[in-house]
């Protein structure tokens, strides 16, 4: 009895809850007999008593009856299975009201059974899937009216074109790395639909914070092939001024924040950007991308939690492509993917077929609307497959079967699938396809040649932008380095202008 | 926050609670819950959040409840805060201020007695300043907020109760300047934060013994104000550094190297650096006192240097 009394300073609700301990029941803790009928009054009493000191509280409860007859109230305290939802028999705890249950059941792990279903619009042959119950597509408005592919021919064609250009760009740059012309590259093969279609569903004011496998967003927003090449070659036209490794693109005019190598660091930053947008009352949201592996990082959990608590307009997009370098998802987490994690943080979440361009487009449109209009975060999990190697430093055939890769490359190819739908509508044909591919290839080769020939940034750029103005110690270091290079030119690269 | 509505504060318990050391008291009432944001407990997350907000045009001030907790934010501070202005080619700036109480307090235990300035000093792209008086605290804070660079402002747990008459009007202290506390002729004593007070106490004793120490509060931990320090060394030819960092890899170690490199010709004796010992700070009050530099040690060191 004394146990709960000593902690009587806590909320009256807690005290009432503690009343239910078996010990008190067995002793017929008299005060608790009042509980089922009028637990509100008990709380009110306790609440009032809260402000007085604990000794008077002690006094209040101590002299209540301890007769066994009071224990008859026990049955009324435990609801039967049928009236679990009877709020009258719920409990108040910090965090709100909960109903309680007599049965000891653990919520079971849903990673193998009862998995969250995945939204898709086109089947594997690029044909619109009919609505549930047959009939036309306009029928199933289960979640949101944006489920209907309300996409114009113009948008669809632009999406398709950029997906093709992304494919060609990846192929050529990858080959360039293999030929020794680029030091590093990372493809989006198999995930073209995600970055392009998601970008298509956003406005230019929406801020994008990428991981590194989303150059499709830049392509959609107008980054030129030459600009991509400049960054990869680190020449003086690179917006990053040659300081970062290839594929670490960034463009503040296109609202695409510079790629930073450590995983998941952009997730809490996205909550911050959304906070800024909210403070400035802008009609825009933040969209941040990350992979299945990044969902294990601490920053992921903290970032989602923060966005939920601060009610920020962020759309969290997870590209669950099954692999984090050589780590398969079964070794990454035991949950049902990432969609259930959003739920855990109180965030509306959806799982989508990431290889279905229309599904990607629709879901991001809908997610953006929720984020902007309701001012709260949303999580979208795209299921997809990483067809390419993690990067040019990886050979994925070492840890996964070649025929698995082939299957996804050919049979489940997102670009081919969308092509079938676009051609099925009469908007595209083989002639335009080969023309686009060869034109893009040509432009890329030209861009690479031009970027390769362009001068590197001057040595001084190595010391600029560390701070807003270059401090004296860095100016000194620059001068010293320049002098060392002048004395021993043979020991230093000749293509960096001193 | 009155002057510029882009300035906002984020951290644990900074809102209604007013902050663990009451630095932000009253701000939430005046500016609202959004501008003075109470965050969940995830230092990496709210530091990251501050960085994202800064990149988008706000001027956030991130508070670490105790500086030591910012070790959890090291990834964000080093890899992003310090680097993104550089790696983005200057496209994105991060005008963030990261501040909090640190240093050895009174029996706070090892984990709450960290001196992060030694861990952070290598990170390129950030500036570090340490305040020590109400006057320079106000001035440095304002300068830090106005700076376009990320600034880490080190406050000390034991200095919050200091009282001083300071001007009501706006003023800033230069982020890169050291403060001349007591001009002198015999020896240059370089110090910062709480150790300034131990040095001034020792100075009283030294003056009684006939010495004339020049005491400089270096304030700017990154970069060092080698101009002021250099002028002092050229005058006195003897240097004593008194810091609260640990012996290994502390601010004193870097400062010793910097002075040796630049002013070796002006030194009549090797630089002496008094630091805390390389041990986790014990909880027991007496042991805690032994780990940090005490005025008596400072007096002895000066006497030895000036022989």
Query: What pLDDT, in 10s, does the model give residues A198-225?
Result: 999 999 999 999 999 999 999 999 999 9
Of A239, A303, A464, the CB nearest to B91: A239
Cβ within 8 Å, pair A306-B40: yes
Q: DSSP for B109-120? A: -GGG---HHHHH
Q: Show which of residues 302-321 on chain A sit within 8 Å of chain B, judged by CB atoms.
A: 302-303, 305-306, 309-310
pLDDT for position A322 = 95
Q: DSSP for chain B? A: --S-TTEEEEETT-STT--TTSTTTTHHHHHHHHHEEE--S-HHHHHHHHHHHHHTT-EEEEE-SSGGGGGGGHHIIIIIITTHHHHTTTSS----EEEEEES--SS--GGG---HHHHHTT-TT-EEEE--SHHHHHHHHHHHHH-SS-EEEEEEGGGTT------SS-----TT--EEEE--SSEEEEE-TTHHHHHHHHHHHHHHTT--EEEEE--EEES--HHHHHHHHHHH--EEEEEEEESTTSHHHHHHHHHHHHHGGG-SS--EEEEE-SSPPPSSHHHHHHHS--HHHHHHHHHHHT-
Query: What pLDDT, in 10s, does the model give residues A155-178?
Result: 999 999 999 999 999 999 999 999
Give the pLDDT band of residue A2 (cuts 50, 70, 90): very low
Matching residue, tokens 């951290």: B11
Query: What pLDDT, in 10s, does the model give residues B84-118?
Result: 999 999 999 999 999 999 999 988 888 889 899 99
Residue A156 to residue A419: CA distance in whole angstroms: 10
Of A238, A268, A280, the CB nearest to B89: A238
- What's A496's DSSP letter? S
Average pLDDT over residues B215-239: 96
Q: Is A125 among the domain residues? A: no
A422, A424, A428, A434: CA torsion to nearest 10: 100
Residue A272 to residue A314: CA distance in whole angstroms: 9
Regarding whether A158 and A87 lie in a shared domain, the answer is: no
Average pLDDT over residues A328-346: 92
Which phi and psi (to 5°) does residue B10 adopt?
-140, 140
Q: Is A237 among the domain residues? A: yes
Where a domain ends, among A74, A99, A124? Answer: A99
Regarding whether A166 and A89 lie in a shared domain, the answer is: no
CA separation, residue B164 to residues A313, B100, B102, B136, B169 (Å):
44, 20, 21, 11, 15
Regarding whether A484 and A431 lie in a shared domain, the answer is: no
How many CB atoms lie under 10 A from the CB of residue B86?
A: 23
Contact B242, B189 (CB under 8 A): yes
Q: State whether residue A93 is helix, strand or coil.
A: strand
Q: Is A148 among the domain residues? A: yes
Contact A37, A88 (CB under 8 A): no
- What's A87's DSSP letter? G
Name the domain count of chain A: 3
Matching residue, tokens 């009236």: A83
pLDDT value at A141 more than 70 = no
Give the pLDDT band of residue A323 (cuts 50, 70, 90): very high
What is chain A's Cα-based Rg?
30
Which residue, B79, B85, B43, is CA-closest to B62?
Answer: B43
Of A270, A306, A466, the CB nearest to B46: A306
Regarding whether A473 and A384 lie in a shared domain, the answer is: no
Residue B303 to residue B203: CA distance in whole angstroms: 11
Domain ranges, residue A56: 2-99
- What's A128's DSSP letter? B
Give the pLDDT band of residue A16 (cuts 50, 70, 90): very low
The secondary element (H helix, E strand) that includes residue A91 is strand A91-93
Query: What pLDDT, in 10s, does the model give residues A434-480?
Result: 999 999 999 999 999 999 999 999 999 989 999 999 988 899 999 99
Cβ within 8 Å, pair B48-A267: yes
Q: Show which of residues 179-208 on chain A sit within 8 Å of chain B, judged by CB atoms.
A: 207
pLDDT over 70, % of chain A:
78
Residue A497 to residue A461: CA distance in whole angstroms: 10
Buried-exposed string A315-341: b where 16+ CB fall within 10 A, e elsewhere: bbbbbbbbbbeeeebeebbeebbbbbb
Q: Is A114 among the domain residues? A: no
Structure tokens at A486: 């002048």
Q: Show which of residues 268-287 on chain A sit within 8 Å of chain B, judged by CB atoms.
A: 268-280
The secondary element (H helix, E strand) that includes residue A288 is strand A286-291
Which phi and psi (to 5°) does residue B304 adopt?
-65, -40
Contact B97, B153 (CB under 8 A): yes
- Hey, which residues of A are catalytic here? 175, 261, 390-391
Regarding whether A153 and A65 lie in a shared domain, the answer is: no
- Which alpha helices (H) appear in A222-336, and where do they start and end? 225-233, 266-279, 298-310, 329-332
pLDDT value at B137 more than 50 = yes
pLDDT for position B18 = 81
Average pLDDT over residues A7-36: 39
Regarding whether A150 and A88 lie in a shared domain, the answer is: no
Q: Is A354 among the domain residues? A: yes
Regarding whether A247 and A308 lie in a shared domain, the answer is: yes
Residue A207 to residue A199: CA distance in whole angstroms: 10
Of A240, A262, A302, the CB nearest to B42: A302
Q: Is A58 among the domain residues? A: yes
Strand locations in A155-285, DSSP E?
Answer: 207-209
Regarding whether A421 and A276 lie in a shared domain, the answer is: yes
Q: Is A117 among the domain residues? A: no
How many CB atoms lie under 10 A from the CB of residue A348?
A: 18
Contact A447, A225 (CB under 8 A): yes
Of B53, B86, B90, the CB nearest to A272: B53
Average pLDDT over residues A187-193: 96
Query: What pLDDT, in 10s, does the model give residues A414-431?
Result: 999 999 999 999 999 999
CA separation, residue A312 to residues A9, A144, A364, A368, B55 (Å):
35, 21, 16, 12, 16
Bigger pLDDT: A425 or A56? A425
Regarding whether A174 and A152 lie in a shared domain, the answer is: yes
Residue B52 to residue A273: CA distance in whole angstroms: 5
Indicate which residue of B43, B63, B243, B288 is catalytic. B43
Regarding whether A425 and A305 lie in a shared domain, the answer is: yes
- What's A247's DSSP letter? T
pTM for this predicted structure: 0.77
Q: Show which of residues 389-428 on chain A sit within 8 Å of chain B, judged by CB atoms.
A: none
Structure tokens at A387: 């067809």
Regarding whether A90 and A72 lie in a shared domain, the answer is: yes
Q: Show which of residues 40-69 on chain B sit within 8 Å of chain A, judged by CB atoms.
A: 40, 42, 44-58, 60
pLDDT for position A148 = 57
Give the pLDDT band of residue A132 (cuts 50, 70, 90): low
pLDDT value at A68 more than 80 = no
Indicate which residue of B63, B85, B112, B179 is catalytic. B112
Q: Mutating which of A243, A257, A258, A272 best tests the B interface, going by the most B Cβ atoms within 10 A?
A: A272
User: Within 13 A of B130's CA, how many CA atoms are on the CB side?
Assistant: 33
Contacts of B302 (CB under 8 A, 6+ apart): B187, B189, B202, B206, B211, B213, B240
Q: Is A397 among the domain residues? A: yes
pLDDT for position A40 = 41
pLDDT value at B168 more than 60 = yes
Contact A343, A349 (CB under 8 A): yes
Question: pLDDT averaged over chain B?
Answer: 92
Min Cα–Cα distance to chain B from A239, Å: 6
Which phi and psi (to 5°) does residue A183 adopt?
-85, -25
Q: Does the annotation count B111 as an active-site position?
A: no
Regarding whether A467 and A372 lie in a shared domain, the answer is: no
CA separation, residue A31 to residues A36, A61, A69, A98 (Å):
11, 6, 12, 22
Contacts of A301 (CB under 8 A, 6+ apart): A341, A345, B42
Which residue, B105, B119, B254, is CA-closest to B190?
Answer: B254
Structure tokens at B245: 């960092």
Matching residue, tokens 């131990």: B198
B39 lies within 8 A of chain A by CB: yes
**Taking CB atoms and an 8 Å cutoff, what residues of chain A touch B48?**
265-269, 271-272, 299, 302-303
**Taking CB atoms and an 8 Å cutoff, what residues of chain B touch A260?**
79-80, 83-84, 87
A476 lies within 8 A of chain B by CB: no
Which residue, A341, A251, A255, A262, is CA-closest to A305?
Answer: A341
Bigger pLDDT: A34 or A291? A291
Where a domain ends, among A78, A99, A120? Answer: A99
Structure tokens at A191: 């995930």
Q: Please report the number of interchain residue pairs, chain A to chain B, with beta-carbon separation below 8 angstroms.
A: 158
Contacts of A485 (CB under 8 A, 6+ apart): A459, A492, A498
- Classify strands A207-209 and B151-156 as parallel, antiparallel or unpaired: unpaired
**Taking CB atoms and an 8 Å cutoff, what residues of chain A touch B8?**
279
**Which residues are B241's β-sheet partners?**
B190, B273
How many CB atoms lie under 10 A from the CB of residue A130?
A: 13
Residue A240 to residue B84: CA distance in whole angstroms: 10
Domain containing residue A372: CATH number: 3.40.50.970
């Amino acid at each position: 009895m004394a146990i709960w009394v000593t902690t009587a300073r806590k909320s009256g609700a807690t005290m009432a809850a503690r009343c239910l301990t078996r010990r008190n029941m067995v002793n017929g803790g008299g005060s608790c007999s009042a509980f089922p009928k009028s637990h509100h009054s008990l709380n009110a009493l306790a609440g009032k008593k809260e402000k007085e000191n604990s000794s008077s509280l002690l006094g209040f409860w101590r002299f209540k009856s301890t007769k066994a007859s009071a224990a008859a109230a026990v049955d009324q305290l435990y609801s039967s299975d049928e009236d679990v939802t009877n709020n009258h028999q719920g409990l108040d705890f910090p965090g709100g009201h909960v109903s309680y249950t007599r049965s000891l059941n653990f919520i079971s792990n849903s990673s193998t059974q009862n998995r969250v279903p995945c939204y898709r619009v086109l089947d594997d042959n690029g044909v619109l899937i009919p609505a549930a119950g047959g009939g036309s597509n306009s029928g199933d408005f289960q979640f949101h009216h944006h489920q209907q592919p309300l996409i114009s021919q113009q948008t669809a064609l632009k999406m398709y074109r950029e997906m093709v250009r992304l494919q060609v760009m990846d192929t050529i740059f990858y080959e360039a790395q293999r030929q020794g012309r680029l030091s590093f590259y990372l493809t989006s093969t198999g995930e073209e639909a995600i970055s392009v279609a998601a970008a298509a569903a956003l406005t230019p004011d929406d801020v994008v914070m990428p991981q590194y496998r989303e150059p499709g967003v830049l392509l959609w927003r107008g980054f030129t092939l030459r600009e991509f090449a400049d960054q990869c070659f680190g020449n003086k036209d690179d917006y990053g001024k040659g300081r970062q490794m290839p594929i670490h693109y960034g463009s503040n005019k296109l609202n695409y924040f510079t790629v930073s190598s450590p995983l998941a660091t952009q997730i809490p930053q996205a909550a911050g950007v959304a906070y800024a947008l909210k403070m400035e009352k802008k009609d825009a949201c933040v969209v941040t991308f990350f992979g299945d592996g990044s969902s294990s990082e601490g920053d992921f959990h903290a970032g989602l939690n923060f966005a939920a608590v601060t009610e920020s307009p962020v759309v969290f997009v997870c590209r669950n492509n099954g692999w984090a370098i050589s780590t398969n998802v079964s070794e990454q987490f035991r949950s049902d993917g990432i969609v259930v994690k959003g739920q855990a943080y109180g965030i509306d979440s959806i799982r989508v077929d990431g290889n279905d361009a229309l599904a990607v487009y629709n879901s991001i449109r809908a997610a953006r609307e929720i984020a902007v209009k309701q001012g709260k975060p949303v999580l979208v999990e795209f299921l997809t497959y990483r067809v390419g190697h993690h990067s040019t430093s990886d050979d994925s055939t070492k840890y996964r079967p070649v025929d698995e890769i082939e299957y996804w490359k050919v049979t489940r190819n997102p670009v081919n699938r969308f092509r079938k739908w676009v051609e099925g509508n009469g908007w595209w044909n083989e002639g335009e396809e080969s023309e686009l591919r060869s034109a893009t290839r040509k432009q890329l080769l030209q861009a690479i040649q031009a970027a390769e020939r362009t001068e590197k940034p001057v040595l001084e750029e190595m010391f600029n932008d560390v701070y807003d103005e270059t401090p004296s110690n860095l100016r000194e270091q620059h001068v010293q380095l320049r002098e060392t290079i002048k004395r021993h030119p043979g020991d230093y690269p000749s293509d960096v202008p001193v | 926050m009155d002057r510029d509505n882009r300035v906002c504060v984020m951290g644990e318990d900074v809102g209604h609670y007013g902050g663990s050391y009451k630095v932000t008291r009253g701000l939430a009432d005046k500016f609202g819950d959004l501008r003075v944001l109470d965050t969940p407990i995830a230092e990496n997350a709210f530091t990251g959040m501050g960085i994202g907000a800064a990149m988008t045009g706000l001027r956030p001030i991130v508070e670490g409840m105790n500086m030591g907790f910012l070790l959890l934010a090291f990834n964000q501070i080093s890899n992003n805060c310090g680097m993104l202005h550089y790696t983005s080619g200057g496209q994105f700036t991060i005008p963030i201020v990261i501040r909090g109480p640190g240093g050895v307090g009174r029996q706070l235990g090892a984990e709450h007695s960290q001196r992060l300035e030694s861990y952070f000093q290598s990170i390129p792209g950030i500036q570090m300043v340490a305040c020590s008086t109400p006057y320079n605290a106000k001035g440095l804070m304002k300068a830090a907020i106005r700076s376009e660079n990320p600034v880490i402002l080190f406050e000390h747990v034991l200095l919050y109760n200091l009282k001083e008459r300071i001007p009501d009007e706006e003023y800033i202290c230069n982020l890169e300047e050291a403060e001349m506390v007591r001009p002198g002729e015999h020896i240059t004593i370089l110090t910062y934060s709480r150790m300034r007070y131990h040095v001034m106490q020792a100075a009283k004793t030294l003056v009684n013994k006939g010495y004339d120490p020049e005491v400089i509060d270096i304030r700017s931990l990154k970069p060092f104000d080698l101009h002021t320090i250099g002028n002092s060394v050229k005058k006195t030819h003897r240097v004593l550094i008194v810091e609260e960092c640990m012996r290994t890899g502390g601010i004193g170690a870097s400062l010793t190297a910097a002075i040796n490199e630049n002013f070796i010709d002006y030194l009549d004796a090797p630089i002496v650096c008094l630091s805390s010992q390389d041990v986790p700070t014990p909880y027991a009050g007496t042991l805690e006192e032994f780990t940090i530099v005490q005025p008596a040690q400072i007096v002895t060191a000066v006497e030895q240097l000036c022989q």
